[in-house]
Amino acid sequence: MSSRPLSGIRIVESVQGPLAMIGRYLADLGAAVDCFATDADASAEAIVANAGKRTHTGDPSGPSAAAAIESAHIVIADPASGIDLAALRRDRPALITMAVSDFGEDSPLAGWRATGPVLHALSAVLSRSGIRGREPLLPPGDLAYQCAAPQAVFALLGALYRVLGGGDGAHFDFAALDGAVQGLDPGFGINGSATMGKPVGLLLRDRPRAGFQYPIMRCADGYVRICLLARRQWRGMFQWMGEPEQFASPDFDRTSHRYASAELLPYIAGFFADRCRIDLEREGQQHGVPIASVLTLGEFLDSDHAAARDAVTTLDDGTRLPNGFLTIDGERMGPLSAPGDADFPATTNAPPLAPFGDLKVLDLGVIVVGAEGARLLGDFGADVIKIESGAFPDGSRQSYLEHGMSVSFAAGHRNKRSLGIDLRSDEGRALFLDMVRQADVVCSNFKPGTMEKLGLAEAVLREANPRIVVSESSAFGDTGPWSGRMGYGPLVRASTGLTLAWRYPEDPLSFSDSITVYPDHVAGRICAIGVAALLIRRLRTGLGGVAKVAQSEVMIGHFAADVVRGTPAGGAPIDWPWGVYRAAGDDEWCVITVEGDADWAKLCRAIGYDEGLAFDSAAKRLAARAGIDAAIEAWTSGRSQHQAAAVLQAAGIAAAPMLRLAELPDFPYFRERGFYRVEDHPWLQEDVVGDAYVVRTADLPAPPRRPAPLSGEQSAEVIADWLGIDAAGIERLNAGAVLEPLADATRRQAEAHMASPDPVTATG
């Protein structure tokens, strides 16, 4: 028996397909999850999704399920289950229910079928995947669904925290498309620092050129990837190469100049060509150059690092699969053979309407993962304080605007206040620990060891406040031989097999993951899940805890079915067609996916391809791919992508038009569900487009509309609110440079931008 954070929580689930991962996260965290399905499923995907659950075969709306529902805290069901969630909520107002589907309970696409590629097309991820001048490239594996599930999990845990604190339950309408847009690579969300705050999907109609931003070089035994973003990293590369004269100009200190150089990348490629991956990694790290070998999934799983972190586990039946997505107090949250039990104290409190409306959060997070985890807590009502330093600014402050604001930063840091403070000073550190004593949560995603160097190790934080919940994220985790590596997402993708999988099948040099921000956004959501789970545990124990997430383990968890099968990441299609087809117009495309012989017959009839009926098995279709593709494209190219998808969906085929980022807000699905909202920002002369909800519900308030702050903008306000320090005390802290208020120069730059009749914008 185990006593994990959700021990004592009972969940009934009847969800078929990839969204059954919602229940898997909850089971890993210790909940007793009873899974009801009409038929048994022995696929690798089902093995992964149902690990740690108690599975029951039979009618999900029958008496066995009804008996389990009577004592459940949460019920999760898809349309096929037949479970009447509305009736359950009428009888039990404290119950939490979630209707799970591809396109939601009430949307223009409610009758459509989805697959992973369909979600990629409709989320605009597909439009940014691939290489300029070529057709869009489907991302590998089942990333759309895998990244969607944590959004649902976080919402459920927020609602559960409110219920256990004395509040009412809630009903959620969760759509896979919503979750995929939010969790995989949201074009209107926060971007990586290399974009300077500009949404790449709004700037480029075509896909990026090969090697954009994070180039991959061939070496003696494979490939390596480098990420030269900061000046010091370029200087390390320059010294490593022997300081070649043609690159000695100070202009090369600028990222834009390096991108524009026609000679630099070929020179680096020649420098790497006769060296082995392991030697390049070692030498690069010695020079401070972010570099990683491009590995297969199997190479990562067999690495000393994965072994040291116990990243892979073996079930009782011998099945090998990734060992969960996070650790809690040092314990891996992998599949359980039997959940534990625990009781939560009764309460008569009247909690705030927002799940986390009474919580205080100290956010030391940076770039994307750090932004997203704490921002989700703010969207659920927490008072989130972004800790900033002028000497060590958050990389996401890099902007097309002088004052450090951008549409990207505004999206990632809404519902936060900014406190500038010098944590390297004794007084600044003492002040921060005073705030820890008032706080509920501390979030960070620095390189392992950084918090210790600041004198803010876990033990120090927990000594200051035994109730504190600590969230940490890093590239490869805080233990193991790779724990000290630089934590850029492109390097993690290279090291875990994803980069090798994200290529055009016939072109081994067509690496195409360069502008995705995966897994940063979804890792931030898993960080928030860890926080919510520990807050729930605190309700019964009175103590906090530490949740840690390694981005590398998020990735291998998303390819767990391949681990079970022992196949490369992403695998190969098991049926055909399963791809992207040219439609009428300039670079317009339609996704078409077939799952089985019945689908294929429907497709043949829909496009008038009678001779195709002879390909009456997946094996025959896979062998005839070229001819099938030609026949389909002859049909799709004569109509728009929207027309083609509508005809095929009417015939029962999972198909979709490829949307671009700029099209999403006005696409009928998103417009009618109210998915996006436009937010004004006091320091931007352009709209900020953001999510209007965490998960669609009428039972929780919408996220607040507090705009993202300038650096140090609320320093005095925060110190007064949290610690009761008066104006004279704040002035003394400012004079001693312990506090960093909003700089006068930054304010002047922001005011000048707002007064400009011709301002710089993200798309200008």
- 518 Cβ contact list (under 8 Å, min separation 6): 143, 147, 184, 185, 489, 493, 498
- For residue 497, give the 3-state DSSP assignment: coil
- 478 Cβ contact list (under 8 Å, min separation 6): 448, 449, 472, 548
- Judge residue 269's burial from the number of C-beta atoms within 10 Å of its C-beta, 0-12 exposed, 13-18 middle, 19 or more buried: middle
One-letter identity of residue 736: G
Q: What is the DSSP-derived secondary structure letter of residue 662?
A: G
Neighbours of 682 (CB within 10 A): 11
pLDDT for 1 equals 45
CB 197 within 8 A of CB 409: yes
CB 42 within 8 A of CB 376: no
Q: Which neighbouring-strand residues pair with 690? A: 677
Instruction: Read off φ and ψ for residue 619, nearest 5 degrees.
Output: -60, -45
Domain boundaries, the chain: 228-289, 578-659
Neighbours of 645 (CB within 10 A): 26
Tokens of 598: 């019945």
Tokens of 13: 């689930």
pLDDT for 146 equals 99
- For residue 72, give the 3-state DSSP assignment: coil
Is omega for the bond preceding 139 within 30 degrees of 0, making it cis?
Answer: no
CA atoms within 13 A on the CB side of 360: 16
| Residue located via tokens 């009577």 | 70
pLDDT in tens, 595-609: 999 999 999 999 999
Give CA angle at 580 (577, 585), nearest 5°: 135
Q: Is 410 left (phi over 0), alpha (psi -120 to 50) or beta?
A: alpha
Sign, CA torsion 657/658/663/667:
positive
Tokens of 137: 């490239």
- Judge residue 118's burial from the number of C-beta atoms within 10 Å of its C-beta, 0-12 exposed, 13-18 middle, 19 or more buried: buried
Tokens of 484: 């000290």
Distance (Å, whole) CA 405 – CA 403? 6
Distance (Å, whole) CA 280 – CA 494? 14
Instruction: Read off φ and ψ for residue 547, nearest 5 degrees.
Output: -110, 130
Alpha carbon 476 to chain centroid, angstroms: 16
pLDDT for 545 equals 98
Distance (Å, whole) CA 609 – CA 616? 13
CB 152 within 8 A of CB 100: yes
- 650 Cβ contact list (under 8 Å, min separation 6): none
Q: What is the DSSP-derived secondary structure letter of residue 737?
A: T
Of 34, 440, 520, 691, the active-site residue reads: 520
CB 711 within 8 A of CB 401: no
Catalytic residue check, 520: yes
One-letter identity of residue 672: E
Is omega for the bond preceding 519 within 30 degrees of 0, making it cis?
Answer: yes
pLDDT for 200 equals 58
Q: SS3 breakdown of the chain: % helix, strand, coil, rounded to 5? A: 40, 15, 45
**Mean pLDDT per 10-residue section of the chain, whose length is 764 residues:** 87 98 98 94 95 94 94 98 96 97 96 98 96 95 98 99 96 99 95 70 72 86 94 96 97 90 96 98 96 98 98 94 98 91 84 96 97 99 98 91 95 98 98 99 97 98 99 98 90 96 94 90 98 98 98 98 94 94 98 98 98 98 98 98 99 98 96 97 95 98 98 98 98 98 97 93 76
CATH of domain 578-659: 3.30.1540.10
Neighbours of 274 (CB within 10 A): 8
- 470 Cβ contact list (under 8 Å, min separation 6): 441, 442, 443, 458, 461, 462, 544, 545, 546, 547
DSSP symbols for 125-188: SGGGSS-TTS---PPSTTHHHHHHHHHHHHHHHHHHHHHHTT---EEEEEEHHHHHHHHT--TT
Distance (Å, whole) CA 523 – CA 552? 10
Distance (Å, whole) CA 33 – CA 22? 11
Tokens of 392: 């060590």
Q: For the chain, how far is it from start to end, CA to CA, in angstroms?
A: 59
